[in-house]
């Protein structure tokens, strides 16, 4: 039963029938709302009304609701404005309209080139509880210089970075090198295949002539096309921050800082041009004040990802328990509550990622998406929510 002190709409991400976690299991653990995507449809193809209906029926048959799309992926041709990209723009508009026709009105997307969220270590030991995700940019540079583009990637890195990579290549064991390569090439949970060196290079090739400014222009063009359709259909388009929120492998990233977000929202001030506020993604950039960003954009935050991170140094971080990291989660939850008090609208929230607890460590679980780790995070967040909401 819902507590009167709760002011968030609790949800959990589910990766479809291939997910090792069953809908009935989520229902039995008190989950009511599902965040999901039509992972079986190739990126760029229209989400038809029949496909949306069938997927929604699958979820509703288990007594759950499909409330948020995460994600409606943006094809690389749109990001690079490759020849013929206008057709993919039109198809994306049609998918928005089809989702709205089925009363699904929060659509998450991102504009990260080639790579979605990325970590260099998927099972770093964490305290005595299990394992966590971490990111070490030195390992990214090493991967690029000694595996991906050994003959033509030096231009992306300083002499100091190249020196660090050289020493890593000398001292890392073969097992450690293999672990780094596998971590970086691993596909996302909804994908059926991992990257290969060749497939990654092929996807990266169009970006050799696209810098940050040009990619920003492409995003703003995309928004100029999509937001009027979203407004007309009472849909909130919510952009997910880049993760990590800085350049990797020389690829530009444009949704990582407060300044990036300000440019996006000032260019198209409609509230349908919204934000998926991910405390972990934003919290892993050394320049960001997460609480300030929330306060500034609260009126257009239509979806929340709550998790915590600890920065080791610039461009190096690992994920933590909800209360252990750099993000002041209690202060953030207070800001969320204050905004709820103003508009009385429950924003969908899900715990993002989660520790891999020892109890599940033997399972073939996609990094960050174990059941027990995410449920533990959700319970901690609900406890904090009730504490704040009842005072």
| Structural tokens at position 171 | 């001292």
Strand locations in 200-342 (E): 236-239, 273-278, 301-306, 308-313, 316-320
User: CA-to-CA distance for 255 and 281, rounded, in angstroms?
Assistant: 10
Tell me whether strands 130-136 and 121-126 are parallel, antiparallel or unpaired.
Answer: antiparallel
What spatial distance separates the first Cα and last Cα of the chain, rounded to whole Å? 20
| Structural tokens at position 267 | 């260019």
Torsion of CA 361, 357, 313, 185, to 10 degrees: 30
User: CA-to-CA distance for 181 and 256, rounded, in angstroms?
Assistant: 24
Catalytic residues: 240, 278, 305, 352-353, 369
Q: Angle at Cα 68 formed by Cα 255 and Cα 252, nearest 5°?
A: 15
Contact call for residues 243 and 282 (beta carbons, < 8 A) = no
């Amino acid at each position: 039963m819902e507590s009167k002190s709760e002011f968030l709409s609790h949800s959990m991400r589910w990766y479809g029938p291939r997910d090792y976690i069953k809908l009935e299991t989520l229902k039995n653990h008190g989950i009511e709302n599902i965040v999901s995507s039509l992972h079986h449809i190739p990126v760029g193809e229209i989400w038809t009304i029949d496909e949306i209906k069938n997927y929604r029926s699958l979820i509703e048959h288990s007594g759950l609701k499909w409330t948020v799309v995460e994600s409606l992926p943006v094809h690389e041709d749109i990001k690079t404005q490759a020849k013929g990209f206008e057709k993919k723009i039109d198809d994306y508009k049609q998918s928005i309209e089809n989702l709205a026709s089925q009363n699904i009105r929060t659509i998450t997307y991102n504009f990260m080139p080639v790579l979605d969220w990325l970590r260099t270590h998927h099972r770093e030991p964490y305290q005595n509880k299990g394992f966590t995700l971490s990111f070490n940019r030195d390992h990214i540079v090493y991967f690029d210089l000694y595996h991906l583009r050994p003959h033509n990637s030096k231009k992306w890195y300083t002499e100091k970075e190249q020196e660090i990579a050289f020493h890593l290549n000398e001292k890392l064991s073969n097992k450690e090198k293999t672990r780094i390569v596998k971590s970086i090439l691993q596909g996302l949970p909804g994908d059926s295949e991992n990257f290969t060196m060749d497939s990654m290079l092929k996807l990266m090739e169009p970006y050799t002539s696209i810098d940050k400014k040009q990619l920003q222009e492409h995003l703003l063009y995309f928004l100029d096309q999509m937001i009027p359709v979203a407004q007309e259909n009472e849909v909130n388009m919510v952009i997910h921050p880049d993760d990590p929120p800085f350049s990797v492998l020389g690829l530009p990233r444009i949704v990582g800082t407060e300044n990036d977000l300000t440019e996006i929202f000032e260019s198209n001030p409609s509230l349908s041009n919204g934000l998926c506020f991910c405390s972990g993604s934003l919290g892993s950039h050394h320049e960001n004040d997460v609480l300030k960003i929330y306060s500034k954009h609260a009126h257009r935050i239509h979806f929340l990802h709550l998790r915590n991170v600890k920065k080791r140094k610039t461009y190096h971080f690992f994920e933590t328990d909800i209360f252990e990291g750099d993000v002041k989660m209690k202060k953030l939850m207070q800001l969320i509550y204050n905004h709820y008090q103003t508009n009385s609208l429950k924003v969908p929230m899900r715990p993002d990622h989660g520790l891999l607890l020892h109890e599940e460590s033997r399972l073939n679980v996609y990094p960050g998406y174990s059941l027990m780790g995410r449920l533990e995070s959700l319970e901690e967040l609900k406890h904090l929510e009730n504490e704040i909401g009842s005072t």
